[in-house]
Structure 1
Amino acid sequence: MEKRFIKNIEFSKALDMAGLVDYQPGKVVSLTLSQNKTVSITLFAFAQGEAISPHSAPGDAMVYILDGRAEITIGNEKITATTGQVVVMPANIPHGLDAVDNFKMLLVLIM
């Protein structure tokens, strides 16, 4: 069998990315699609009011909002991002996310 670099998703099929994770009240749901020394790709579904507290990452992190609305803090700056928008958070700068509404995102971390 060939080595697979992407997991937890069907191959050779058109899929609705936002439909791969479901909202759960009071929770942040995640689905890891790939993770190694240089890249991490994860889907998230945040219930309204949930958050990821400020932290920093060793690489640049890009979030693509698949559904809903999030408030993203990068350093001292707050950005509101909605469906279809993308935000890049630079390496080693503290950042956090708050679910203003239910929201889903694809996170790509490049190290």
Structure 2
Amino acid sequence: MTQIMKNIEFSQVLDLKELITYQQGQVVSRTLAQTPIVSITLFSLDEGEGISTHTTSGDAMVQILDGEAEITIGDKVLTVKEGETLIMPSDVPHGLEARKRFKMLLTVIKY
């Protein structure tokens, strides 16, 4: 049987915030699952770093684990903080910037 989840311990209680570190001036990612239908990735972004505007062929759920981000979806700009979740619909341009350094769990479901 092939395991879909990777880069993460099985059968353990984990703190997702602790599975990825901040790097000065960088965006850091850690892929936890990647299939044609779903991707699950942890990210950390240093203050002022961002991910440029793009579209995806699936709905994307961002869960902020630490810090604060400014996320743009179409022409809407939203501030999202630790403990908050945001859904970015497929085929709508979106991007983000770290207003304060932040960590997030990104889940993309493609269809």
In which range does the TM-score fall when normalised by the shorter chain? over 0.9
Q: Which residue in the other structure is 2:19 paired with?
A: 20
1:43 maps to 2:45: no
Q: Distance in 2 between matches of 1:72 and 1:83?
A: 13
Q: Which residue in the other structure is 1:70 paired with?
A: 69
* Counterparts of residues 1-111 of structure 1 (less than 5 Å): 2-111=1-110
Percent identity of equivalent pairs: 54
Q: Under a length normalisation based on structure 1, what TM-score does the superposition of the two structures give?
A: 0.98
- The residue type paired with residue 110 of structure 1 is I
Structure 1 stretches of 4+ with a deviation exceeding 3 A read none
Q: Distance in 2 between matches of 1:70 and 1:41?
A: 19
Q: Distance in 1 between matches of 2:28 and 2:18?
A: 12
Q: Distance in 1 between matches of 2:36 and 2:52?
A: 23
Aligned residue for 2:17, secondary structure, equals helix
- The residue type paired with residue 7 of structure 2 is N
CA RMSD of aligned residues (A): 0.5
Deviations 1:10-55 (A, max 9, x none): 0000011010000000000000000001000000000000000100
**Structure 2 unpaired stretches of 5+:** none
